[in-house]
Every structure is written in C-alpha cells, then in structure tokens.
C-alpha cells in the first residue's frame, strides 16, 4: 500500500481543513485530487509530504510516518509544490545538478533534462525560460532522484494548452514505468484525461472516489441526443423510453434523457416501425465536469478565508 490514511483531521484555529479523511491508495497509477479552493487538497498533500502535521489521525506513505520519518520519506518521494522558487541566474543543468546533490543517488543530469524536454535549454538561464519551461524544470527537480512516488500540486496552473500537454506526457511516462502519482488540479478535463482514479474533496471531506468512468456512470446528469431523420417521424417511442423533446436545431431533433441506452433502443424501434431512415445521430453524455459540479454545488469557488 503506497498511502494509507485513517481518521485524518487538520485544524487551523477554528477552521477545520480536513474532517476525518480515510483513504487507501495502492502503488501504480495516477490519482487525482479534485475540489474547489479551500477544500483541503493542498493541506492533505502537504501532510503526506511531511510539511504539515495532522491534528488527529494517522498517515503512512511508503510505509513511513511523514511526521516522524520525514527525512527518510523525502529521499523516496518527489514533490512539485504550487509555487517553486528556482535561482534565476542558474542554468537548468546547474539546477538539476544542485538538486541531485541533495540525495544519496540520482540520475545523470543529461537524462533528467531529456526526461522533461529541456536538453536544448541546458545552458540557458532560468530567467530566460518560458513559464512552461520553468514548470518542466520544476518537474525535473522532483524527478532527479528517481522517486517511488511523485506528488504534484497543480503542476499545470497558468500554462497554455501546448505547455500543459508537455507536462502531461512527462507524467504519463513516469506512470508507465510503474510508479505512482498524486496530482491535485483545478482542470477537470486534466483529471479525466490523466487519472486512473479521482478523489473529490469538499469542505475537508471525501465526497466521491472512483475511476472517471465510475464517477460519470453514477452521475445524475442527462445525456443529449441530436437526431436527424429522412422525413417526418413519430417521437412516441423515444418519449415512452424517457427522452424529453427539446426542440429542433436545423435538421436535428434534440432530446435529453437520463437513460441513453433506452433511447437508442427506442430509436431502433422507430427505424423498424416507421418509414424513415437515420440521417445523423449525435450524443453528448455527462462528463466528469458535470459530476464535479453536482458534488461541489455552490462551493465551486471555495470559501473565503478557508485554508486550501
């Protein structure tokens, strides 16, 4: 078991940041932590990293207690914080060399630069790197000692889509080597694309936990169908199957339903029983974003003053 958390609580004065968190995270795969600002995501990962002490409960990371065995733990994990201060007048090669010296073993600097796609910038000053390149360098700093577990706190915030895709590829390659990743993010599509498991936290509590597919399957959201036929048709079979007409858009009749499988069966009944043929069918099913908004509701923007 890579991470085991039992009854974890964290308080900051009168503010309760975490409320009895229980989690088991086995090795391998990418686990995403989603939640609004103030939900407790950063507090949770900082306790895992040994940067904060819990108020109550127990935490085990790679079989170690982050509070009492922090030094041993930090030799085995890689961490990228929300904000990383990098010396501006060093080169990426010098930065990775400096961080490599902190650990009893590390990978060659050239390999570290190649891993994060910065070979061409090895002699450039950090001050002259783009935002995406600095984020990749920060990721390289977290990976230089070949950690068993990588913890990333919003690693792609503020990056353009191209730079974000580059970070995603590094994370996927690390996962492909059999390692584990814990990732906090505000980008729901990022979690849907990258994560094998998603944990949604609201007001310091876990409110959902599963694969993206499992969470979407449990959603109460509706599916939308746009259907174009070769001529007039009777929508009664679709309505009987629970689909509600929502008007016409061009040549397409729009329906919404909570049971798209039943609607598709009804569509087959229409094609078999009526003198029409199917010209086009489009469907939009609930997404992880729909699930997220259902779960966090009015807390989507967080609560002022609450610790992250």
Q: Does residue 117 belong to any structural domain of this protein? A: no
What is the extent of the structural domain holding 263? 223-285
Q: Does residue 127 belong to any structural domain of this protein? A: no
Predicted TM-score (pTM) of the model is 0.81
Domain total of the chain: 2
Q: Are 147 and 77 in contact (CB under 8 A)?
A: yes
From first to last of its 308 residues, the chain has per-residue pLDDT tens of 689 999 999 999 999 999 999 999 998 899 999 998 889 999 999 999 999 999 999 999 999 999 999 999 999 999 998 888 899 999 999 999 999 999 999 999 999 999 999 999 999 999 999 988 999 999 999 999 999 999 999 998 888 888 889 899 999 999 998 899 999 988 888 998 999 999 999 999 999 999 998 888 777 678 899 999 999 999 999 999 999 999 999 999 999 998 899 999 999 999 999 999 999 999 988 888 888 888 887 555 444 334 45
Residues 212 and 263 occupy one common structural domain: no
Q: Does residue 305 belong to any structural domain of this protein? A: no
Q: Does residue 24 belong to any structural domain of this protein? A: yes
Domain with residue 241: its CATH number is: 3.30.70
Domain with residue 162: its CATH number is: 3.40.50.300
Residues 154 and 278 occupy one common structural domain: no
Burial 269-301 (b: 16+ CB within 10 A, else e): ebeeeeeeeeeeeeeeebbbbbbbebbbeebee
Strands 149-153 and 180-184: parallel
Residues 67 and 166 occupy one common structural domain: yes
Residues 174 and 275 occupy one common structural domain: no
Q: Which residues contact 302 (CB under 8 A, 6 or more apart)?
A: 36, 37, 38, 39
Give the whole-angstrom CA distance, residue 224 versus residue 221: 10
Q: Does residue 208 belong to any structural domain of this protein? A: yes
């Amino acid at each position: 078991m890579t991470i085991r958390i039992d009854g974890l609580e964290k308080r900051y004065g009168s503010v309760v940041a975490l409320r009895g968190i229980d989690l088991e995270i086995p090795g391998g795969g990418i686990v995403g932590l989603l939640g609004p600002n103030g939900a407790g995501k950063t507090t949770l990962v900082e306790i895992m990293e040994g940067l904060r002490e819990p108020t109550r409960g127990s935490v085990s990371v790679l079989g170690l207690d982050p509070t009492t065995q922090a030094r041993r733990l930090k030799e085995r994990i890689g961490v990228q914080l929300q904000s990383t201060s990098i010396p501006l007048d060093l080169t990426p090669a010098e930065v990775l060399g400096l961080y490599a010296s902190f650990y009893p073993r590390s990978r060659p600097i050239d390999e570290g630069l190649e891993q994060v796609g910065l070979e061409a910038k090895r002699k450039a000053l950090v001050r002259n790197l783009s935002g995406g390149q600095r984020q990749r360098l920060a990721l390289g700093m977290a990976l230089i000692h070949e950690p068993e577990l990588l913890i990333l706190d919003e690693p792609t915030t503020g990056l353009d889509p191209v730079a974000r895709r580059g970070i995603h590829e590094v994370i996927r390659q690390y996962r492909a080597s059999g390692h584990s990743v814990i990732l906090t993010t505000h980008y729901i599509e990022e979690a849907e694309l990258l994560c094998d498991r998603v944990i949604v936290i609201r007001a310091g509590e876990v409110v959902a936990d599963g694969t993206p597919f499992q969470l979407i399957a449990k959603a109460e959201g509706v599916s939308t169908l746009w259907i174009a036929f070769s001529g007039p048709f009777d929508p009664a079979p679709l309505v009987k199957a629970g689909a509600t007409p929502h008007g016409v858009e061009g040549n397409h009749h729009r329906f919404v339903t909570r049971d798209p499988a039943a609607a598709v069966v009804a569509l087959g009944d229409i094609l078999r029983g009526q003198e029409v043929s199917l010209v086009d069918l489009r469907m939009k099913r609930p997404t992880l974003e729909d699930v997220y908004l259902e779960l966090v509701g009015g807390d989507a923007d967080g609560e002022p003053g609450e610790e992250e």
